[in-house]
């Protein structure tokens, strides 16, 4: 398949770049003296694109440079940086990397919840600063007698729910549809869910349809003992409203792995002692990132060998899809 030319949208893990280069003719425009001119020159020959959300928006204007493009293989489960509708109009298949990161992100979500409720980073800083020599660390909130609301009960949301059940925590959820085969309470709006729970776990996809889904009204409903955990996309939460809610005591605390303008995190959040902040590391283990990278390569290899994509996103225009 070396006659197939693949564009790498930006720097990617070595497993992806090496895997693409081994099987295809790979192009790295960011290494060129004039990336725009380089892309203009190779664009008409490109048949596959390997990309990730960190590479920027893949929209109709971008796709216009790639008239022969057949497939976009995205590194990550979220694909809100890709205009899938624009790709569909051009007959381009879009794939992502689901399942292989589900357990890793779910593990991180529970770790972030525990760290936020029991103030584990704060306790670590307390000890390291020598303050334990002066007094005991203050008592914290608890998971006991809390109910967890999951906003977005997809693959990762269900994995989080199973872990919460192991902790003995009641589960409720909101999503686009009620899932009648599940034993959890369903609420029709995010605000109704927030009002019924003590922890709001945000796991919904990003994109225009979920932008600021968690707004001031949802945070008000969550209440002064409520905790917000976000492991989805920063765009889902109105960050300015969240800062006000944390500052004013509208909610108790928050654990955040994602932000609206990554890697730039508002100084107001950084300066808050009662929140836990992580640098978008939900899937950030060597094992899982390797599995994600291999799936990007495998999707390209499957497509160009005539087998069809392995993990097409639901909106993709592929007649042979079975899921």
> Quick check: 258 and 230 in contact, CB under 8 A?
yes
> Quick check: 50 and 12 in contact, CB under 8 A?
yes
Question: 322 phi and psi, to 5 degrees?
Answer: -115, 0
Please tell me which residue in 65, 211, 280, 321 is annotated as part of the active site: 280
> Quick check: 109 and 280 in contact, CB under 8 A?
no
Active site (annotated) includes residue 260: no
> Quick check: 210 and 236 in contact, CB under 8 A?
yes
HSE, side-chain direction, 13 A CA sphere, residue 141:
22
Q: How far is CA 156 from CA 10, 159, 280, 303, in A?
A: 27, 5, 15, 26
Buried/exposed code over 106-136 (b: 16+ C-beta within 10 A; e: otherwise): bbbbbbbbebbbebebbeeebeeeeeeeeee
The token duo for 165 is 């059940």
Active site (annotated) includes residue 262: yes
**Run of H or E including 79:** none
Please tell me which residue in 262, 274, 287, 315 is annotated as part of the active site: 262
Active site (annotated) includes residue 280: yes
The alpha helices in 27-119, defined as continuous H runs, are 35-42, 60-63, 84-89, 102-117
> Quick check: 241 and 266 in contact, CB under 8 A?
no
Q: Supply the DSSP string of 57-70, one letter for each residue.
A: -B-HHHHTT-TT--
Please tell me which residue in 47, 163, 174, 233 is annotated as part of the active site: 233
Residue 227 CA, chain-centre distance (Å), reads 19
Catalytic residue positions? Answer: 233, 262, 280
């Amino acid at each position: 398949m070396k006659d197939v030319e693949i564009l790498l949208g930006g720097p990617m893990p070595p497993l992806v770049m090496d895997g693409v280069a081994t099987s295809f003719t790979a192009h790295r425009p960011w290494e060129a003296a004039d990336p725009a001119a380089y892309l203009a020159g190779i664009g008409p020959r490109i048949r596959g694109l390997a990309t990730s959300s960190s590479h920027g928006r893949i929209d109709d204007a971008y796709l216009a440079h790639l008239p022969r493009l057949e497939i976009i293989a995205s590194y990550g489960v979220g694909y809100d940086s890709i205009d899938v509708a624009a790709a569909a109009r051009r007959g381009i298949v879009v794939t992502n990397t689901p399942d292989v990161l589900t357990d890793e992100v779910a593990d991180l979500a529970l770790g972030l919840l525990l760290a936020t409720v029991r103030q584990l980073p704060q306790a670590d800083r307390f000890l390291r600063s020598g303050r334990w020599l002066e007094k005991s660390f203050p008592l914290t909130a608890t998971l006991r007698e809390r109910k967890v609301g999951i906003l977005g009960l997809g693959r990762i949301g269900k994995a989080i729910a199973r872990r919460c059940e192991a902790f003995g925590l009641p589960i409720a959820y909101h999503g686009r549809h009620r899932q009648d085969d599940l034993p959890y309470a369903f609420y029709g709006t995010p605000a109704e869910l927030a009002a019924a729970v003590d922890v709001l776990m945000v796991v919904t996809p990003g994109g225009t349809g979920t932008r600021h889904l968690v707004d001031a009204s949802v945070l008000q409903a969550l209440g002064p003992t409520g905790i917000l955990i976000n492991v989805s996309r920063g765009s889902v939460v109105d960050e300015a409203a969240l800062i006000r809610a944390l500052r004013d005591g509208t909610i108790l605390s928050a654990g955040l792995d994602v932000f609206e303008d990554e890697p730039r995190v508002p100084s107001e959040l950084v300066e808050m002692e009662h929140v836990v902040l992580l640098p978008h590391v939900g899937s950030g283990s060597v094992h899982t990132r390797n599995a994600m990278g291999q799936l990007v390569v495998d999707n390209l290899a499957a497509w160009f060998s005539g087998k069809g994509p392995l993990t097409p996103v639901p909106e993709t225009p592929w007649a042979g899809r079975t899921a």
